[in-house]
Structure 1
Amino acid sequence: MIGYLAGKLKHKSPDYLIIDVNGVGYCVHVPLSTFYDMPAVGETISLNIHTHVREDMLQLYGFRTLAEKEMFLHLIAINGVGPRLAIGILSGITPDGLRAAVLQQDHRRLKNIPGIGKKIAERIALELRDKLKIKPAKEELVAPPAGTQDVFSDAYSALLNLGYRASEIDKSLKRVQQKLGDTPALESLLKEALRVLA
């Protein structure tokens, strides 16, 4: 069971990273909050890892903080919340934000996260209420340098994977393009698009 990885960042995209550890490339799925905090390709990184094993596959999920990993583990313990949905949830809300929404039983805030319907929102609020009465962990997001990839198509793909509709994504990206120009950093583009979509 892999619980931690440190190595060289070989590839980064909003959905996953590839980390070179002594010549072996590990594909690690990450939430957008972790993606935002990644340095340039070629730099050394370290991530807290959850190894998810199923009959037909083994997947790694990475987090820049233990608070994110712990929240991910709480989420996947809920019936109806798998790893992909948990990653989507953590891409749309910080662990502290989720904790606050659960403790206040703010179902509306939970339903605003892509992929979360009324039933799942109520289940999350109910099942996490007692588990999350713990001290908040303060976190900061740091945007990495801009990449050279086609940022708008990468942003479109990332937002689609998070559960937003194509028409919503198109409108938000057009608005963000007017504000940030034609060559924004992918991280800035995604942050601004999520702000517009919220």
Structure 2
Amino acid sequence: MIGRLRGTLVHKQPPWLIVDVQGVGYELEAPMSTIYDLPELGSEVTLFVHHAQKEDSVALYGFLREAERRLFRDVQKVTGIGAKIALAILSGSSVEDFVARVDGGDTAALSRIPGIGKKTAERIVLELRDKLGGVGAGSAAVPSARGVPAPADPQSEAVIALQQLGFKPVEAARLVKGAFEQGDGAEAIIRKALKAALK
């Protein structure tokens, strides 16, 4: 099992990353909360990894913070929640905000996350309310450099990333159109679109 990777960040196209570790490129899927704080391409990065193995596939998920990896694992113990919804949860809110919503029984806010309906939101509150204590501890981001070059078409990249997080194509395009301001990179668009969708 792979629990942590340290190497060079060589590719970033939300929600996908490739980290080169001594000549081997590891492809990982990551929540936007991690992608926002990654250093620039070519920099060294250390990621906590969740290694998911099924009968016919292997997937790696990367996180800058241990608290995010723990929450990613914990929410998947709730019936009906898989990796895709777990990534959407972490992409749409901080660990602390999510824990506060669960503790407060805010099912309305939880059901605005793509893939979570009212019944699933109620199950999350019921099953996780007493299990998330301390999850947010140590969730500060690893200090990192900024300045990733903007892709040729940040709006398209943002639409694709939102679809990967569970938004329907039309909804993703609408959110991106509403969030875009001249000069925005994909990450800024995604951040604003998620904030608008989940508030």
TM-score normalised to structure 2 length: 0.90
Cα offset, 1:93, TM superposition: 1.5
Cα offset, 1:118, TM superposition: 1.1
Specify the alignment match of 1:144 in structure 2. 146
Specify the alignment match of 1:133 in structure 2. 133
Q: Count how many residue pairs are aligned between Structure 1 and Structure 2.
A: 195
Cα offset, 1:140, TM superposition: 5.1
Looking at structure 2, the residues matched to 173 and 103 of structure 1 have their Cα atoms a distance apart, in angstroms, of: 31
Specify the alignment match of 1:78 in structure 2. 78
SS of residue paired to 1:122: helix
Deviations 1:102-126 (A, max 9, x none): 1111101101111111121111111
Specify the alignment match of 1:173 in structure 2. 176
Contact 1:152 / 1:173 at 8 angstroms: preserved in 2?
yes
| Partner amino acid, structure 2, of 1:123 | R
Specify the alignment match of 2:51 in structure 1. 51
Looking at structure 2, the residues matched to 196 and 148 of structure 1 have their Cα atoms a distance apart, in angstroms, of: 22
Deviations 1:3-36 (A, max 9, x none): 0000001100111100000000001110000011
Specify the alignment match of 1:87 in structure 2. 87
Between 54-63 and 72-81, report the one with greater CA deviation: 72-81
Cα offset, 1:143, TM superposition: 8.3
Contact 1:16 / 1:28 at 8 angstroms: preserved in 2?
yes
Looking at structure 2, the residues matched to 20 and 186 of structure 1 have their Cα atoms a distance apart, in angstroms, of: 23
SS of residue paired to 2:17: strand
Give the direction of change, closer, same or farther, for the CA distance of 1:104–1:196 in structure 2 (3 Å limit). Answer: closer
Looking at structure 1, the residues matched to 38 and 167 of structure 2 have their Cα atoms a distance apart, in angstroms, of: 24
TM-score normalised to structure 1 length: 0.90
* Identity value in percent: 40
Cα offset, 1:166, TM superposition: 3.2
Deviations 1:44-98 (A, max 9, x none): 1010001001000111111110110110110112221111211111111211111
Looking at structure 1, the residues matched to 123 and 184 of structure 2 have their Cα atoms a distance apart, in angstroms, of: 38
Alignment of structure 1 residues 14-163 onto 2, 5 Å: 14-134=14-134, 136-137=136-137, 138-139=139-140, 144-149=146-151, 150-163=153-166
Specify the alignment match of 2:185 in structure 1. 185
Looking at structure 1, the residues matched to 109 and 11 of structure 2 have their Cα atoms a distance apart, in angstroms, of: 33
Looking at structure 2, the residues matched to 148 and 135 of structure 1 have their Cα atoms a distance apart, in angstroms, of: 33
Looking at structure 1, the residues matched to 127 and 190 of structure 2 have their Cα atoms a distance apart, in angstroms, of: 30
| Partner amino acid, structure 1, of 2:173 | D
Between 56-65 and 183-192, report the one with greater CA deviation: 183-192
Looking at structure 2, the residues matched to 59 and 171 of structure 1 have their Cα atoms a distance apart, in angstroms, of: 30
Give the direction of change, closer, same or farther, for the CA distance of 1:140–1:48 in structure 2 (3 Å limit). Answer: closer
Q: Unaligned stretches of 5+ in structure 2?
A: none
Looking at structure 2, the residues matched to 144 and 91 of structure 1 have their Cα atoms a distance apart, in angstroms, of: 19
